[in-house]
Structure 1
Amino acid sequence: MKKYLLALCAIMGIFTAAQAQRTELTVSYGGYTQMDAMDCHDGGHDVNTAWGALNVGVNFNVAPNFWIGPSYTFSSTTRKHNSDNKFYYHAIMLNGRYNYYRNSIVTLYCKGGIGTIISHQTWDDSSKNNGYFAFQINPLGAQVGISNVVSMFGELGFGAQGLLQVGFKFNL
């Protein structure tokens, strides 16, 4: 009976802790990514600059002022003289964020992340994949609350998610 009672207490404790944890969904666009600045296209010199990156992430508030969570980034480009030769970039990263200043209107923070970039190259009837180290370093980020559920944000840094990111956060 004691085992069942302890198991029930443990399950209730885990459920209560999970409910108390705040979660947010982020959606953003980033311009000039790591894939453009570094050789993430298998040594090709005649590659166009990508259009940017679409980023989606989920963050969990694990401690006061500290958030952590996974993210997915998508970008693509082509060769300059052969638009049939395409590159698709998929970045999967684990990000951490620290809020270092907060008032009733704005929150300032820094963010970092590490992970992997999977580059998928296609041409004619062939394709190949390459893997690269992905990172994101944002020493300056600002978030402004629009409502209790939605916030706008902007981040300045460098990495797979972009040099300058703008987007929205949704509190779940």
Structure 2
Amino acid sequence: MKKFLIALVAMFGITAGVSAQKTEVYASYGGYTQMDATDCHDGGPSVNTAWGALTAGVNFKITPKIWIGPSYTFSSTSRKKYDDNNFYYHAIMFNGRYGYYQNNIVSMYAKLGIGAVITHETWPDDSKNYGHFAYQISPLCAQVAINKTFSMFGELGFGAQGLLQVGFKMNL
């Protein structure tokens, strides 16, 4: 059974590598994240709303309509009463994207991401880490090509990367 699973994983890896026709890297900003809406600071009182989230990631095209890849998201905030108590949010996720419309300039897609949010809380002489489930569900996303290398995009959904996310992609 173990050999069968290893062979299956190897076949999937080879198939994905052969069919990966394109790679893209992206950077974006998203406002009102999962960290603001849910308790990613373990019940601490008087926490400010975070300034948003910066995300960077890589996507690999595995079929004409499906892209997959990892992403990293950073956000932070503080407590209202204490200037020296800060929260730093690090979200590491695996994302999948399904394209449902495309022409030469515009493509529309839906995106789903899952992973973990690591909250690092600091005080002047102490720090703590918390782990939480991270997700991103974005059913309405659009990408507009600027040229063959660069495009800009907007994604509407909810999760660790933000309620509304905007950014740029570069095809490699």
Structure 2: any 5+ residue segments left out of the alignment? 1-13
Describe the SS at the equivalent of 1:162: coil
Output the amino acid matched with 2:76: S
Counterpart-to-counterpart distance in 1, 2:117 and 2:41: 11
**Amino acid aligned to 1:33:** T
Identity %: 70
Count of residue pairs the alignment pairs up? 157
Aligned AA for 2:113? Answer: G
Match of residue 23 from structure 1: 23
> Which whole-Å CA distance do the structure 2 matches of 1:61 and 1:45 have between them?
43
Aligned counterpart, 1:76: 76
Write the letter of the residue equivalent to 1:164.
L
Task: Name the SS of the counterpart of 1:63 in structure 2.
Answer: coil
1:7-156 residue pairs with structure 2 within 5 A? 17-18=17-18, 21-156=21-156
**2: distance between equivalents of 1:133 and 1:56?**
19
Give 1:171's aligned residue. 171
Once the two structures are TM-superposed, the CA of residue 42 in structure 1 deviates from its matched residue by: 1.3
- Once the two structures are superposed, what CA deviation does each residue of 1:28-70 show, in whole Å capped at 9, x if it has no partner? 0000000000000010120000000000010000111100000
Displacement of 1:20: 5.6
Q: Deviations over 1:108-134 (max 9, x none)?
A: 100000000000000121001000000
Return the offset for 1:18.
Answer: 4.8
Q: TM-score, normalised by structure 2?
A: 0.89
Across the aligned residues of Structure 1 and Structure 2, the Cα RMSD in angstroms comes to 1.2
Task: Supply the distance in 1 between the matched residues of 2:20 and 2:89 (Cα, whole angstroms).
Answer: 36
**1:170 to partner: Cα distance:** 0.4
1:84-140 Cα shifts (integer Å, max 9, x gaps)? 000000000000000100112210100000000000000121001000000000000
Gaps of 5+ in 1: 1-13
Instruction: Give TM-score, length-normalised by structure 1.
Output: 0.89
> 1:138-166 CA deviation, whole Å, 9 max, x = no partner?
00000000010000000000000000000
Distance 1:26 1:124 in 2: 35
Q: Name the CA distance, whole Å, in 2 between partners of 1:164 and 1:18.
A: 34
Q: Which has the larger radius of gyration?
A: 1
Aligned mates of 2:45, 2:146 — CA distance in 1: 43
Query: Distance between the aligned counterparts of 1:46 and 1:62, measured in 2?
Result: 45
Corresponding position of 2:158: 158
Give the structure 2 partner of residue 6 of structure 1: none
Runs of 4 or more off by more than 2 Å in structure 1?
17-21
**Partners of 1:99 and 1:83 in 2: CA distance:** 44
